[in-house]
Amino acid sequence: MIGLIWGYGFAGDGSGRRFTPEDGDARIAEMTARGPVWLHLDRTQPATRSWMEAQPDIPATIREALLEEDTRPRCVVSESGLMLILRGINFDIGQLDEVTVAVRIWATPDRVLVLTRYKVLAVHDMATEMDDGKGSHSIADFLVRLIERLTYRIAPEIDLMEEALDVVEEQALVATTSGERRELARIRRRSLVLHRYLHPQREALHEFREKGALALPSLDPNALRETAERVTRLVEDLETLRGRAQIVEDGIAIRVAERMNRNMYWLSIVATIFMPISFVTGLLGVNLGGVPGADNGDGFIVLCIILVLLVSAEIWLMRRMRLL
């Protein structure tokens, strides 16, 4: 067993001969030997590593790069084949913590290996097209289509983040709540992750266009021109989005600081007004003889009048000093 999810033999007319693990090892070996073939493998299966270690055309460094846990998009062209690691949007409901998912590719003129861990809709689209007879005619055509579909699904995600940021920005102008701050933090986190992978992905696609034909002679470098331009625009859109999010966050922080300063200011005013009152009442409340007015029946009323006059004098003084 090779950790196979499914495979297709390219018929050359857009259709493919599908085979799965249920077909048995003999059938899989037969289809693989016929070539050209597409093998979709589960990267997490130990059988995948064992099978790849037995393949003489896959260098050890390439194999380890294809199987390692954390990868960044890159393209490596060698005499034996081409390695391409890309990132796409994660649409797997069970793994929403992962913003992006990796698609690892090893391609030669006779076969292409696609290794994934999570469900990737672009890969499923490729299989559906092969079943419908509208798929790729060759391995080079397969790679171009797969890259196009991965890129196509990134743009709507950035559009959704821009719309969410517009809502946060509008709400922040009226009132700032913890909900807006949480949503802004989510937008910034997703845009940061996307930018982290899209920026090197742009360079990987440039490398693929420049040198891919060395490993795949049938590859047309111009076929990816528009896709590469789209990735460049997506990177620029992400940089603009991150800049806007930073401006919104700074504005929210300024408004929160202003509100806190205003609250602290009024607390200080109240404390200033009541501090003399507390001093007077505390002094008259000591349990010692000789306290003025202790034996006078009108002493409390006189004290209240004095305190009112004291507060009035404080407020007048604060207004003169423009503190109120």
Give the three-class secondary structure for 103.
strand
Mean pLDDT, rounded, of the chain:
84
The separation between CA 79 and the C-alpha centre of its own chain, rounded to angstroms, equals: 35
Contacts of 216 (CB under 8 A, 6+ apart): 82, 107, 108, 109, 139, 140, 143
Tokens at 113, concatenated: 């290996």
Contacts of 35 (CB under 8 A, 6+ apart): 9, 110, 111
Do 44 and 24 form a contact (C-beta atoms < 8 A)?
no
CA gap 74, 68 in Å, rounded: 13
What fold, for 266-320?
Methane Monooxygenase Hydroxylase; Chain G, domain 1 (1.20.58)
Domain ranges within the chain, ordered by starting residue: 4-256, 266-320
Give tens-digit pLDDT for 259-290: 888 888 888 888 888 888 888 777 777 766 66
What pLDDT does residue 95 have? 57
Query: What is the CATH architecture of 4-256?
Result: 2-Layer Sandwich (3.30)
What pLDDT does residue 203 have? 92
pTM (2 d.p.): 0.76
CA gap 150, 194 in Å, rounded: 13
Report whether pLDDT(186) > 70. yes
Report whether pLDDT(294) > 70. no
Read off the pLDDT band of 293 (50, 70, 90): low
What pLDDT does residue 107 have? 93
Report whether pLDDT(118) > 80. yes
Give tens-digit pLDDT for 53-74: 888 889 999 999 999 888 889 9
HSE-up of 235 (CA within 13 Å, CB side)?
14
CA gap 101, 92 in Å, rounded: 9
Q: Which residue has the higher pLDDT, 101 or 295?
A: 101
